[in-house]
Amino acid sequence: MSRRLTALTLLLRCAVKRRLARVPGPEAAERDFARNARLFLRQPPHLRQVRGGGGLHWISAGPCVPGRALLYFHGGGYVAGSPDSHRGLIARLSRYAATEACAPDYPLAPHAPFPAGFEAALAAWAQLRRLGYRPRAIALAGDSAGGGLALALLARLCAEGTPPACVVAFSPWTDLAMTGDSLRRNRRRDPFLPVERIGELVATVRGNADPRDPRLSPLYAEFPGPPPVMLCHGETEILADDASRMADRLRGFGGRVLQEVHPAAPHAWPVFDGWIPEARATLKRAGRFVQESFSDTSR
C-alpha cells in the first residue's frame, strides 16, 4: 500500500464519504460528482475525444489497433457521471489496451430510471455493430454501476450467442437486492461509500422494477458461453461481495475469470489514476488483459 493510497483513503473517509452521507438527493449528488471529477480525475496527455453518432464519445490517448473497440460504461450509481467525467480513466485504459474506447452518454435516474440505462447499453452495442465491428472485436468495460451495466449487457449477448471478446469491471455493482454480507461487514471499513444511503439510491434507480431483474442486477443473470472477464475490487468495499459473488457466478457457467482483489484500495480505485500508483498498475494489467483477449479471439 503506497503512501499516496494511504493519504487518499484518509481524504475520502474524512471528506468525501461524510459528504456523500449528507448529500440531499440525486441532483445534488450529480453536481458533487461533476465537481469532484474536475478536481480528482486526472487526464493523460494527448487525450482525444470526439462525439459521434448515437450519443457515443470516442476516446483515446495513443496508437490504437484498427477494427477494435472498447465499449466503456461510466460509474456514478446510475445518478451521476458521464463520459466527460471519466474520460481520463477511459483514455488511459484505451492507451494500455491499444484500443479506441467508445463511451455512451446513457440516461441517468431519477429522470430516466431502469431500464433506460440498460436500453442505452443495448443501443450502444447495436451502433457499434452497425459501424461494422464484429462482436469478438469489441470489449466491454465499466466501473461501479457502469461495471454492472457492462455485465448485464454481457448476459444478454451471451444469451444471443454474440458475446464480446472480454469484459473488464472495476468494483462492479451487481446486486441491487443488497444481499451481500460486505454491506454489513465493511460498513465502517469502506473509506468511500456510506452504506446508509444505498437503500435510497436503489429505490431511485430501480423505480418499480424487481431488484433481482438481471438487466439491473447481473448477479442473477445467466451467462451461457461467457468470454474472459476481469473483475477488480477492494477487500474493504461495501460492494466487495458484489464482485466476488459475480466471479463465482461466471465460473459456474464455465467462464475464465481473472480476479484482482486489493487489500485496501477504495471503491473503483482506477479512477484515481495520476494520484495513486495502484490505479496505474491495475489499468496496465487491464489493458494487457484486453489485448490478450483480442489476440485469443483472432486465432
Q: Pick the catalytic residue: 74, 233, 262, 267?
A: 267
Q: Which of 60, 94, 144, 293 is catalytic?
A: 144
Among 30, 100, 237, 278, the active-site one is: 237
Pick left, alpha or beta for residue 278 (phi over 0 → left; psi -120 to 50 → alpha; otherwise beta).
Answer: alpha
Residue written as grid cell 480476479: 259
In the residue annotation, 144 being an active-site residue is answered as: yes
Report d(CA 133, CA 120) in Å as an integer: 18
Contact 270, 286 (CB under 8 A): yes
C-alpha cell at 121: 447499453
- Spatial CB neighbours of 129, under 8 Å, sequence gap ≥ 6: 135
Q: What is the rounded distance in angstroms from the CA atom of residue 73 to the CA atom of residue 268?
A: 13
Task: Please name which of 238, 239, 205, 268 lies closest in space to residue 37, comparing C-alpha atoms.
Answer: 268
**Residues designated catalytic:** 144, 237, 267
